[in-house]
Amino acid sequence: MIVTVTANPSLDRTLEVAGLVRGHVNRISAVHVQPGGKGVNVARALVSNGIPARAIIPAGGVEGQQLIALLTDYDIDVRQVASAGPVRINVSVVEPDATVTKLNEPGAAFSEIEVGDLLAVILGNVADASWVVLAGSLPPGIAPGFYGEVVRSLSGRGIRVAVDTSGPALREAIAAGPALIKPNLEELEEVVGRKLPTVADTGEAARELRDLGVGTVLASLGGDGALLVDVDGMWHAEAPAVVRSTVGAGDATLAGFLAAGAHGVSALRQGVAWGAAAVSLPGSTMPRPGDIRPESVRVRARIDGGRLLRTG
Look at residue 98 in the predicted model and tell me its pLDDT.
83
pLDDT, tens digit, 9 for 90 and up, residues 268-288: 999 999 999 999 998 889 999
Look at residue 72 in the predicted model and tell me its pLDDT.
86
Active-site annotation, residues: 251
Please report, rounded to a whole number, the percentage of residues in the chain having pLDDT higher than 90.
Answer: 84
* Other CB atoms within 10 Å distance of the CB of residue 98: 16
Q: Is the pLDDT of residue 311 over 60?
A: no
pLDDT, tens digit, 9 for 90 and up, residues 56-81: 999 999 999 999 999 988 889 999 99
pLDDT, tens digit, 9 for 90 and up, residues 172-208: 999 999 999 999 999 999 999 999 999 999 999 999 9
Look at residue 191 in the predicted model and tell me its pLDDT.
96
The C-alpha atoms of residue 86 and residue 13 are separated, in whole angstroms, by: 16
What is the average pLDDT across 253-278? 97
Query: Which residues have C-beta within 8 Å of that of residue 43, sequence separation ≥ 6?
Result: 2, 4, 53, 54, 55, 74, 76
* Other CB atoms within 10 Å distance of the CB of residue 52: 15
Look at residue 312 in the predicted model and tell me its pLDDT.
35
Q: Is the pLDDT of residue 236 over 80?
A: yes
Do residues 45 and 74 make contact, with C-beta atoms less than 8 angstroms apart? no
Look at residue 161 in the predicted model and tell me its pLDDT.
98
3-state secondary structure of 192: helix
- Which pLDDT band, with edges at 50, 70 and 90, does 303 fall under? low
Q: Is the pLDDT of residue 34 over 50?
A: yes
Taking all residues of the chain, what is their mean pLDDT, rounded to a whole number? 93
How many helices and strands (H and E) does the chain possess?
Answer: 9, 14
3-state secondary structure of 172: helix
- Which pLDDT band, with edges at 50, 70 and 90, does 308 fall under? low
Q: Is the pLDDT of residue 302 over 80?
A: no
pLDDT, tens digit, 9 for 90 and up, residues 139-181: 999 999 999 999 999 998 999 999 999 999 999 999 999 999 9
Dump strand ranges (E) for 259-305: 298-300
Bridging pattern class, strands 298-300 and 2-6: unpaired
CATH superfamily of 2-300: Ribokinase (3.40.1190.20)
* Other CB atoms within 10 Å distance of the CB of residue 248: 30
- pTM for this prediction: 0.91
